[in-house]
Amino acid sequence: MKVVDKQLVFINSSDRDSGEIQDFHISIPSHLLTCQSHQKMRMILNDLVLPYTWYNVQEANRYLHLEENGGALSQVALDLGSYNALQLQTHLQSKLNEAGNHTYVVTFDEIAAKFKFTITTVHNSTNSLQFTKTTNGVNSSAYKLLGFDKGSTNHFATFTNVPLNTTTYELTSSKTITTMFADALHFHCDLLNTNVDKMVGDESTFHLSNVFAKVMIDTSPFNNIIFQNRNDDFLINITSKRLTGMRFWFTTSDHTPIDMNDDFSFTLKVEVLEDDEKTLIQQNSGLGELMRLLLLQQHHVAKVQKSSD
C-alpha cells in the first residue's frame, strides 16, 4: 500500500459541535476528508496535549455508606475537588461526623499511607464503612481514596474500653490510599477499529473496543500531559470513503467516567492509500489483453491475405 495523500486535522475540544470537554462530537464538511473508490483512508493519532487539571474527587468516586449500630445505611458524599492526603483526612472526618450519629476521628499514617477511623460509643453493636452500593446505577464509591477494596464491607473492631462504660472502635484502611483519580486515560473514538479490551458487557471477557489510544499520566497535576506519535500504533482503518463527523471521549483505564475542567487539543493524521501492487497487476492485465487483441488482429489479417492469394 502506498500513501498518495496526507492531511493533518487540528482539533480542539472547544471547537466541538456538541457535548462536553470529555465527550464531544465534531462535524466535518463532506468534501474535506474523502478518497476515491479504489483508495482507502486511515487515521492516526499524531499528538495530544491534555491539561492535568481534573479533580481527584469526582462524581465517579465520591460516595461511601455508614452502618451504625447495625441500623440502616447513611450515605456520605465527599465534596468535588482536588485533595492531598492530609486535606482529604480533614474533609473526610467532617463529612463522617455530618452524616453519622457517632463522633468520628480520622488520622493518616504517612508511613503506611493508610487512614485510621475511630469512633466511641456506649453501644456494643455493628459499625462499618461500606462500598457496595451504586449511585445512579454506577459504582461510584470512594474505595480507592480511602484504601479499601471495591464493593467491600469493612467492620470496625473493638479496640479498648474507656471510662463511662463506652467502647472505642477502630478501622484501618486495608490498602494504601491513592489520591490519584487515574494512572492512565483511554481516548475513545466512534470509528470502527480492531482494538480489544474488557470494557463492554459484564467485563468478564475481551471484546472489540472503541478505545482508540491509551494516554499515560506521566506528569504531576496542573501540568500538561503530552503524547507524541512514535510508530503509528494508534491507527484506525476507515471503512467509508469520506468522513463527515467523529465523536471522541475519555474514560479512565478502568472505564470510569471522568469530568474534565479544561479544553485540550490533538492532531489527527489522515492518510489516503492506494494498493500499488494491485494497480500494477490491473495495468499489466490490461496490457496483456491489448497484446492478445493485437495478435488476434494480426492473425486474422494474415489469414485473409493467405486466402486471397
Cα–Cα dist 8/44, whole Å:
10
Q: Which residue has the cell 500499488?
A: 276
The answer to whether 215 and 48 are in contact (CB under 8 A) is: yes
DSSP-assigned letter for residue 189: E
Residue 270 in grid coordinates: 489522515
Q: What one-character-per-residue DSSP string does 53-109 give? A: ---SB-GGG-EEEEE-TT--EEEEEPPSB---HHHHHHHHHHHHHHH-SSEEEEEEE
Cα–Cα dist 180/85, whole Å:
10
Cα–Cα dist 113/140, whole Å:
22
Average of per-residue pLDDT values in the chain: 87
Phi, psi (rounded to 5 degrees) for 136: 55, 35
Residues in the chain: 309
CB atoms within 10 A of CB 74: 15
Residue 250 in grid coordinates: 475519555
pLDDT of residue 160: 64
Q: Which residue has the cell 462499618?
A: 128
Q: What one-character-per-residue DSSP string does 225-264 give? A: EEEE-SS--SEEEE-SSB--EEEEEEEETT--B---SS--
Confidence band (pLDDT; 50, 70, 90) for 37?
A: confident
Confidence band (pLDDT; 50, 70, 90) for 299?
A: low
pLDDT of residue 203: 75
Q: Which of 33, 26, 25 is nearest to 271 (CA)?
A: 33
Cα–Cα dist 244/27, whole Å:
6
Cα–Cα dist 164/84, whole Å:
37
Cα–Cα dist 260/24, whole Å:
12
Asked if residue 84 has pLDDT above 90, the reply is yes
Confidence band (pLDDT; 50, 70, 90) for 163?
A: low
Asked if residue 280 has pLDDT above 60, the reply is no
Cα–Cα dist 24/100, whole Å:
40
Q: Write down the pTM of the prediction.
A: 0.81
pLDDT of residue 138: 56
Mean pLDDT score, 177-204: 87
β-bridge pairing 114-121 and 39-51: unpaired
Residue 263 in grid coordinates: 479544553
User: Which of 37-41, 51-55, 194-198, 233-237 has the highest mean predicted lDDT (pLDDT)?
Assistant: 51-55
Residue 206 in grid coordinates: 475481551
Confidence band (pLDDT; 50, 70, 90) for 134?
A: low
Dihedral over alpha carbons 24, 209, 186, 88 (to 10 degrees)? 100
pLDDT of residue 43: 94
Q: Which residue has the cell 480533614?
A: 90
Instruction: Tell me the sheet residues that pair with 187.
Output: 213, 250
Confidence band (pLDDT; 50, 70, 90) for 154?
A: very high
Find the farthest-apart pair of alpha carbons in the chain and give their distance in angstroms, rounded.
Answer: 137
Asked if residue 300 has pLDDT above 70, the reply is no
Mean pLDDT score, 213-224: 93
Mean pLDDT score, 263-284: 79
